[in-house]
Amino acid sequence: MRALIVDDSRATRAVLRRLLHGLSFDGIAEAGDGRQALEELSANGPADVALVDWNMPVMDGLEFVSRVRSDTANDVMRIVMVTTEADADHMVSALEAGADEYAMKPFTAAVIRDKLALLGVV
Amino acid sequence: MMGSPDPSTSEFVRRLVHERSAIVIDASKDYLVQSRLAPVARDAGLGGVDGLVEHLRRQPASPLRDVVVDAMTTNETSFFRDAAQWEALATHVLPELIERRRAQRTLTLWSAACSSGQEPYSIAMLMADRFPRVVAEWNVRIVASDLSAEMLGRAAAGRYSQLEVNRGLPAPYLVRYFRQVSGQWEVRDEVRQLVEFRALNLVEPWPGLPPVDVLCMRNVLIYFDAMTKRRVLSRVHDVLRPDGHLMLGTAESTLYSDERFRRVEFGRATTYQRRTA
């Protein structure tokens, strides 16, 4: 299984990487903003799942999700927003843009595992 | 400093919990006595768990007795815990039961030991989302019971922290079936009114329960000794419809307790049905 972690915090990326590694993901790519993440996708194709922060410099998570979903080649990739934005309006916007799941920070390992299980990824 | 309680304190608590709930707390779980009862002792101004137990020894009828049992018997729970079982419920068990009940148009689901309510609300949300016409037009009863009055109160209130709704609950359900109220998430009335809450001790008689189509009794039997487990399963057998399904926790089994049930496999999920005579 391959995953893409998109978050401008190196510490958060490291936590998520460890967590995904423990769930038997073998290819784990990282990006610090939406623009880098799009470049990663065009270089290596869609992952099985992307964990995407909302607030990032250059290109935020919502715009990244919209762009990903405008290309049907990425339909296979499940997207989980992982963000401090914790209100229903943000959630609705993300789901409408094409995110499949939404986890609020702070999260525990069980939260991410549950979300991936809901999407049938683990 | 958080000292360990006196061994006789732990022994007293284990005996009290067993007497009141038939739940067996293994001596290896003595750490729970400290972690769960220290806040109770503090709130009651009794200076530690040893002081709390001393109070209960002197006043056996103290209202704190039930508070202590509550605190010791509350289980970890989350929305849609064990995804495979919910998938089996949504795609196999419920569609099949709904087909069989077309004439009666009645469906009864029971969440036994519902704790803080995540399980019965998961059932209600699943029904509302996947089978809206059945919910609207049939007599659908979702009964949620628990031993603990405090837990039932929490469950009926239907308010959850961000951490609780983050676990297991699909985001589309969160935005559709909850509303945010001062930092918490509250189950909307359309879901809450589908669930009826009642106090029920599984080791005492179960008065007034209708025949049940789906009975969720997950992660409850593991706390009972063998004899209590057999007694409870025998009552389950009586209350479950012949084609109804019993759902247990993933680590539980009726196998060695009651031969009158058979396992039914749905992929990675298992349910139990009464054996036909």
Give the chain B residue nearest A99 (alpha carbons): B171
Interstrand relation of B178-181 and B184-187 (parallel, antiparallel or unpaired): antiparallel
Q: Which residues on B lie below 8 Å from A117 (Cβ)?
A: 83
Give the chain B residue nearest A87 (alpha carbons): B180
Q: Per-residue pLDDT tens, chain B, 277 aa: give them.
A: 446 778 889 999 999 988 887 778 878 778 788 888 887 888 788 889 999 999 999 998 888 888 888 788 766 678 998 888 999 999 999 999 999 999 999 999 999 989 899 999 999 999 999 999 999 999 999 999 998 888 899 999 999 988 889 988 999 999 999 999 988 999 999 999 999 999 999 988 898 889 999 999 998 887 788 889 889 999 999 999 999 999 998 777 776 677 889 999 998 899 999 997 5
Give the distance from residue A107's alpha carbon to the nearest chain B alpha carbon, in angstroms. Answer: 7
Query: What pLDDT is stored for residue B39 in this prediction?
Result: 79
Q: Is B146 a catalytic residue?
A: yes
Closest CA to B185 of A106, A58, A88: A88
Query: What pLDDT is stored for residue A38 in this prediction?
Result: 97
Query: What pLDDT is stored for residue A102 in this prediction?
Result: 97
Is B171 close to A102, i.e. CB distance below 8 A?
A: yes
Which residue is associated with the tokens 């999260």?
Answer: A107
Query: What pLDDT is stored for residue B1 in this prediction?
Result: 40
Q: What percent of chain A clears pLDDT 90, i.e. is strictly above it?
A: 82
CATH of domain B7-72: 1.10.155
Give the distance from residue A109's alpha carbon to the nearest chain B alpha carbon, in angstroms. Answer: 10
Query: What pLDDT is stored for residue A110 in this prediction?
Result: 82
Query: What pLDDT is stored for residue B74 in this prediction?
Result: 64
How many residue contacts between A and B have a Cβ separation below 8 Å? 41
- Interface of chain B against chain A, CB under 8 Å? 78, 80, 83, 162-163, 166-168, 170-172, 174-175, 178-180
CATH of domain B83-274: 3.40.50.150
Is B171 close to A101, i.e. CB distance below 8 A?
A: yes
Closest CA to B248 of B79, B73, B111: B111
Q: For residue A54, what are the contacts with CB-CB under 8 A and spacing of at least 6?
A: A60, A61, A62, A81, A83, A84, A85, A90, A94
Say if residue A69's pLDDT is above 60: yes
Give the active site residue among B36, B65, B167, B198.
B36
**A86, A95, A108: residue with CB nearest B175:** A95
Query: What pLDDT is stored for residue B120 in this prediction?
Result: 97
| Average pLDDT estimate for A60-74 | 97
Q: Which residues on B lie below 8 Å from A92 (Cβ)?
A: 175
Say if residue A85's pLDDT is above 70: yes
Is A95 close to B162, i.e. CB distance below 8 A?
A: no
B171 or A107: whose pLDDT is higher?
A: B171
Domain with CATH 3.40.50.150 in chain B: 83-274
Is B78 close to A114, i.e. CB distance below 8 A?
A: yes
Strand order in the sheet with A101-104: A27-31, A2-6, A49-52, A78-83, A101-104
Query: What pLDDT is stored for residue B25 in this prediction?
Result: 81
Substitution target in B175, B176, B180, B187 with the highest count of A β-carbons within 10 Å is B175
Give A2-49 pLDDT, tens digit per residue. 999 999 999 999 999 988 998 889 899 999 999 999 999 999 999 999
Helix B64-73 to helix B30-43 angle (10° resolution) is: 140
Give the distance from residue B79's alpha carbon to the nearest chain A alpha carbon, in angstroms. Answer: 10
Q: Which residues on B lie below 8 Å from A104 (Cβ)?
A: 162, 166
Backbone angles phi, psi at B214, to 5 degrees: -130, 125
Confirm if B20 and B32 have CB atoms less than 8 A apart.
no
Helix A34-44 to helix A61-69 angle (10° resolution) is: 30
Domain with CATH 1.10.155 in chain B: 7-72
Question: Whole-model pTM?
Answer: 0.81
Substitution target in A81, A101, A114, A115 with the highest count of B β-carbons within 10 Å is A114
Substitution target in A118, A119, A121, A122 with the highest count of B β-carbons within 10 Å is A118
Is B179 close to A88, i.e. CB distance below 8 A?
A: yes
Give the chain B residue nearest A110 (alpha carbons): B167
